[in-house]
Structure 1
Amino acid sequence: MTERPAPTTAPHAAGRPPLRRILYGVRRRIAVAFVLQAAGSIAGVVPFIAVTLIAERLTAGTAPSGGRLWPLASLACAGGLAAMVLGFTAGVVAHLADNRLQLGLRLDLARHIGRMPLGRVSAAGTGELKSAIQDDVHALHSLVAHTLLDATALLTAPLLALAYLLTIDWRLALLSVLPLAAGVYLFGRAMAGAKANMAEYGAAQSRISSAAVEFANGIAVVKSFGRGRRAHARFLAATDGFSEFFTGWVRATLIPSTAALLVVTPVVVLLVLVTAGVVFTGAGWTPVVDLVPFVLLGPVVSAPMGLVGARMQQIRTGQAAAARITALLDAPVLPEPAVPAAPADARVSMRGVSFSYDGSTDVLKDIDMDLEPGTVTALVGPSGSGKSTLAALLLRFHDVTTGTVTIGDADVRAIPAADLYRHVGFVLQDVRLLRATVADNVRLGRPEATDEEVKRAARAAQIHDRITALPKGYATVVGTDVVLSGGEAQRLSIARALLADTPIVVLDEATAFADPRSESLIQDALSTLAFGRTLLVIAHRLATVRSADRIVVLDGGRIAEQGRHEELLAAAGRYARMWRSQGLDASVDLTAPTASRDTSRPDLTPKGTHR
């Protein structure tokens, strides 16, 4: 039976510090690993104690018999063997806990991100999400599988060694603690401000990750326009900032941290104990034979200080990672309706819609707009006017601040997310493809679709011939076996939308980054997709939508004017000025009837849908 992953959002874990909350689901396994490691550490000290007892008997003045030494030798061997077995078992248990934790965290994060508003996910960026799901979760591996066990060993063995030394000579035992005390003091100096520095360290790493992902994703576009040097400036700025911060941090902590390590080295500890031992034996305070356990176990007492720096770093890294993970898990999700509603038809209505990202400044104000079934509505306007934001409200990437967005008289907030995306599809200019087969990428539109339906959608999207030319055809893995061009990826996303066969489709400048040949194919595919559907088109080039049933001009988050192309030109307003400034009369018009927009197109309608 497959074991269920550890829950990270258990009710009893609520309100706890982030790290304790993250580890709540595997706390019992970690506790077992602690006990095993503590027992192993105790067993690891036994051979040293046995050796000191053997040395005491060998220097007692009379030759000891084998019968007096062999039990101690056997005890030493048994202690060493037990330490290895218990330490190995503790490591296995800790790694099993770590495996369960990482699987559970990644599943929880994936489920939670899937329920977050898509606008929030897009704003976070792939770098931040990758950092949380991959880097931050992986950062907990060292903490759970190694560091916590090491910390247990570093505490248990020295305490047992010190307790034994106190029974031999309490004065020398206290002297053996002096190097440790000095190391703790110096290390405390070095770690001053470590919490704030670790937070900045994690933030700097995230900035580098985000900048690297952003640059890698856009490198093809920026190089095409000769802006490669400028495009990687953000990445260079992130790395330079990290270098400056980290260099300053290291410079400030180098001297005290190095001194903390030096004072607890075995050479220094032995020098202190041997010097004190010579004085003590010379004064007759301590027998010579009593120096043996201090020579063997004295360095063990101070040993934790030599490793505590690295372990503290790992603990703080784990704490910072846990804080970022829990912050993402606590991010608001789209509320599911208590009483679900179902759209009656494909009519879209927006009434009194306003929206603000930060709750203070409205980027959309008092929007009233209707999209009638089977019509094409185009959103145009200058950059920053709110076109993409308005379309995102229909897709429920965000929820309106005030007003309502309805589909078939049902408020989009009352439509369950799974049902909403059966009614509203979208083709965006930033295409996202999975590292999966071509067929699976298309089948995202409707997972239960047959192979023949997938192929029919691809033919309608003008991408079938390109797919069949691939080495493995529809079984070719995107990103591994082949890297598709921007136009090819766009047509693949159109095939996905065709397969989904939603009655409402949002197009966000789907040809923005396509070359002329790909643009022609994409336009044909879009015309097929648009046929018979309620279409909302975000357009930057006005000539591509001049035949739209309605053109809505946004300016400053408000509707400046709306109407048909001829009406808006005659009004000599904002639209007319934009039209004259662009001069794109010769551009392709995706809203105009074409040969591909006829009733002979392939029937992609799944059973039981709206069609």
Structure 2
Amino acid sequence: MIKTRLVGLLSHAKKYIAYTVLWQWTALLAQVLAVFSVAGLLERIAYRTVTIPVIERTILTLALVAGIRFVCERMGARSSYLACVDVKQVLREKIYGKMLRLGASYSEQIPSSEVVQVSTEGVEQLETYFGKYLPQLFYSLVAPLTLFFVLCRISFRASGILLLCVPLIPVSIVVVQKLAKRLLNRYWSVYTGLGDSFLENLQGLTTLKIYQADRQKADEMDAESQNFRRITMKVLSMQLNSTSVMDVIAYGGAAIGMAVAVSEFLKGETGISGTLCIILLASEFFLPLRLLGSFFHIAMNGMAASDRIFRILDLPEPQKGKCALPDEPWDISLKDVRFSYEKDREILAGVDLELPAGSFVSLVGESGCGKSTVAGILAGKNRGYSGEITIGGASLAQVCEDEWMKQMAFVCHNSYLFKGTVEENLRMANPDATEEEMKDVLQQVNLLGFLQTQEGLQTKLPERASNLSGGQRQRLAIARALLKEAKIYLFDEATSNIDVESEEKIMDVIRKIAETKTVLLISHRLANVVKSDRICFLKDGRITENGSHEELMQADGAYRQLYDRQMALEQYGKEGSGA
């Protein structure tokens, strides 16, 4: 019922749990005082010995108890709230910190949808575990013992029977926990699977509409939803049945204790006041545990969610490099680099690639040959490669990731743009950039003129900059990279989705960058790589041709064949448009 690792992870929340229990216990003592006062008054009334001072004293006691209980409930609720806030903040910080330590390659180990669901719904479930369940658990242990020590002076037998019946409720809870653990694990698996499908279908809704596959995906989601409904009903049924069992134990135990107290009263062994105290307080032996049972089911969900949280926190982290990069320009070297997304499908089968400092190198090849995988490895998105990659003579695995990210700019065909303004997106690359510097990079990518017809740098962008065209989004991403002033630039199909005129302007910018920086250009359009210092042709996971454009054309190999085909197609397209 207590997950020690979870409590240990959030040990600083213990004080709020202790405060909550303390306030609940104080309220219980106040209630005992009120019951004894009322029972004493009723006994005096029965024997006709009541006096005005006794009534006044009883009323004053009840008013004082009401005030104490009000303060205790308010302070208990505040302590519970502070525990909840603390737990949510700490857990989300730990998950976020873990994702940062996993780095850009986190998606290789866990889907984004699971991280989102665990960080939201899973953490919310644990809020109840710490804010309600744990305080109630400890109070449920303290309350029956307190009542026993108070009532045993009146009737040891009746109070003893009440105390002995109390453990039957946690026994039933433990039994339910054993039976429900597997069911709740299945529940979370189905829940995260449904969330994953929903997120994927939502992101690809436009594509589904275009191919009229939205009905098929809707039917698939209906089937997943029905599966989720069924397992949810099983969980609710389990909760209802266990609640019924706890009700029988609670009310049955209280009834037995009351019956014993009444029996002793009839035998003359206890007085009216003592009997009334036992009858009025008998349910208090069981109500804390009964309330614990209602929190228990939510807590079980929280503990199941904590398994998912610990799964994330226990993911193996890539080894952190500590080497600093030298200030002088450095060469980049890949030797016998191999990489596989799946065990039986090797994407890179021994790539050897040299990027001398200040060089302009292009990587080309047929679609699916592994060009983007090479860029992903250098950008830190793909790990688990074998072979050797060195930066200025230091192994990439040993280089400090933060240091490497500062020196490298990566632009791919779907670079992410955030909700906000154009300026906010640009300042991600250089927080200290001036307005003139930002306008200059926008001018270089042929985007400034359009933005001036809007709100300039303050043009608002929704999520993924959906109010811009594909080409405009790509140009803004390139402008952001230009503003970074990195030492190496990786362009992975950076000119895709851009019109020919803008493409030429961007290629001019890339060539200008290559005069002073190290540039690796990946492009499916070979016309863009003609002026590169060196062109590497990737085929079957290996670089099969290497040289300048003129050298590769003279070699009359796969590069020339691909280049000639593309030129023929482009010429045909020009003739067709001219006709």
TM, length-normalised to structure 2? 0.82
CA contact (8 A) 2:334 2:389 kept: yes
Q: CA deviation at 1:279?
A: 5.6
Report the structure, 1 or 2, having the larger helix content: 2
Cα RMSD (Å) of the superposition? 4.0
Q: CA deviation at 1:499?
A: 0.6
| Counterpart for residue 463 of structure 1 | 447
Q: 2:52 and 2:30 mapped to 1: Cα distance?
A: 24
| Counterpart for residue 33 of structure 2 | 46
Q: 1:112 and 1:405 mapped to 2: Cα distance?
A: 25
**In the alignment, residue 257 of structure 1 is paired with which amino acid?**
S
Shift in CA distance, 263/208, structure 1 to aligned 2, threshold 3 Å: same
Q: 1:432 pairs with 411, 416, 429, which one?
A: 416
Structure 2, unpaired ranges of 5+: 574-579
Q: 1:387 and 1:69 mapped to 2: Cα distance?
A: 90
Deviations 1:20-57 (A, max 9, x none): 23312333344344333433343344323332233233
**In the alignment, residue 22 of structure 1 is paired with which amino acid?**
L
Q: How many residues matched? A: 566
TM, length-normalised to structure 1? 0.78
CA contact (8 A) 1:43 1:83 kept: yes
| Counterpart for residue 20 of structure 1 | 7
CA contact (8 A) 2:143 2:288 kept: no
Q: 1:402 pairs with 374, 379, 386, which one?
A: 386
**In the alignment, residue 65 of structure 1 is paired with which amino acid?**
T
CA contact (8 A) 2:21 2:136 kept: no
In the alignment, structure 1 residue 217 sits paired with structure 2 residue 203:
yes
| Counterpart for residue 333 of structure 2 | 349
CA contact (8 A) 1:172 1:273 kept: yes
| Counterpart for residue 478 of structure 2 | 494
| Counterpart for residue 138 of structure 1 | 124
The alignment partner of 2:191 has SS state of helix
The alignment partner of 1:341 has SS state of coil
CA contact (8 A) 2:243 2:294 kept: no
Q: 1:585 and 1:544 mapped to 2: Cα distance?
A: 15
Structure 2 counterparts to residues 44-83 of structure 1, below 5 A: 44-59=31-46, 61-83=47-69
Shift in CA distance, 441/525, structure 1 to aligned 2, threshold 3 Å: same
Q: CA deviation at 1:424?
A: 1.9
Deviations 1:67-92 (A, max 9, x none): 33443443333233223213322332
Q: 1:487 and 1:562 mapped to 2: Cα distance?
A: 31
Q: 1:25 and 1:360 mapped to 2: Cα distance?
A: 47
Deviations 1:364-384 (A, max 9, x none): 33221113433231243443x
Q: 1:469 and 1:265 mapped to 2: Cα distance?
A: 73
The alignment partner of 1:425 has SS state of strand
Structure 2 counterparts to residues 102-501 of structure 1, below 5 A: 102-121=88-107, 124-173=110-159, 176=162, 184=170, 187-230=173-216, 235-236=221-222, 238-251=224-237, 253=238, 256-263=241-248, 290-342=274-326, 344-345=328-329, 347-355=331-339, 363-372=347-356, 373-383=358-368, 385-399=369-383, 401-470=385-454, 473-474=457-458, 476=460, 478-479=462-463, 483-501=467-485
Q: 2:119 and 2:572 mapped to 1: Cα distance?
A: 43
**In the alignment, residue 454 of structure 1 is paired with which amino acid?**
M
The alignment partner of 2:50 has SS state of coil
The alignment partner of 1:434 has SS state of coil
**In the alignment, residue 21 of structure 1 is paired with which amino acid?**
G
Q: 2:219 and 2:568 mapped to 1: Cα distance?
A: 34
CA contact (8 A) 1:30 1:93 kept: yes
| Counterpart for residue 506 of structure 2 | 525
Identity of paired residues, percent?
23
Q: CA deviation at 1:425?
A: 1.0
Shift in CA distance, 187/580, structure 1 to aligned 2, threshold 3 Å: farther
Q: 2:126 and 2:53 mapped to 1: Cα distance?
A: 50
CA contact (8 A) 1:387 1:554 kept: no
Q: CA deviation at 1:118?
A: 0.8
| Counterpart for residue 554 of structure 1 | 539
**In the alignment, residue 160 of structure 1 is paired with which amino acid?**
T
CA contact (8 A) 1:550 1:564 kept: yes
Deviations 1:573-599 (A, max 9, x none): 66678779989731999xxxxxxxxxx
Q: CA deviation at 1:440?
A: 1.2
Q: CA deviation at 1:361?
A: 7.8
Q: 1:256 and 1:393 mapped to 2: Cα distance?
A: 54
Q: CA deviation at 1:351?
A: 1.3
Q: 1:440 and 1:52 mapped to 2: Cα distance?
A: 70
Q: 2:414 and 2:465 mapped to 1: Cα distance?
A: 21
Q: CA deviation at 1:537?
A: 3.5
Q: CA deviation at 1:350?
A: 0.7
Q: 1:231 and 1:77 mapped to 2: Cα distance?
A: 63
Shift in CA distance, 94/341, structure 1 to aligned 2, threshold 3 Å: same
CA contact (8 A) 1:18 1:322 kept: no
Shift in CA distance, 497/20, structure 1 to aligned 2, threshold 3 Å: same
Q: CA deviation at 1:561?
A: 4.6
Q: 2:208 and 2:549 mapped to 1: Cα distance?
A: 34
Q: 1:574 and 1:50 mapped to 2: Cα distance?
A: 99
CA contact (8 A) 1:438 1:478 kept: no
Q: 1:120 and 1:587 mapped to 2: Cα distance?
A: 44
| Counterpart for residue 593 of structure 1 | none
The alignment partner of 1:51 has SS state of helix
Shift in CA distance, 566/209, structure 1 to aligned 2, threshold 3 Å: farther
Q: 1:530 and 1:193 mapped to 2: Cα distance?
A: 66
Range with bigger deviation, 176-185 or 464-473: 176-185
**In the alignment, residue 76 of structure 1 is paired with which amino acid?**
L
Deviations 1:268-307 (A, max 9, x none): 6676566666666556666555442243222222213432
Structure 1, unpaired ranges of 5+: 1-15, 590-611
CA contact (8 A) 2:27 2:72 kept: yes
**In the alignment, residue 263 of structure 1 is paired with which amino acid?**
V
Deviations 1:468-514 (A, max 9, x none): 344575263543997444433322211111111324222233455x4
| Counterpart for residue 31 of structure 1 | 18
Q: 2:153 and 2:567 mapped to 1: Cα distance?
A: 96
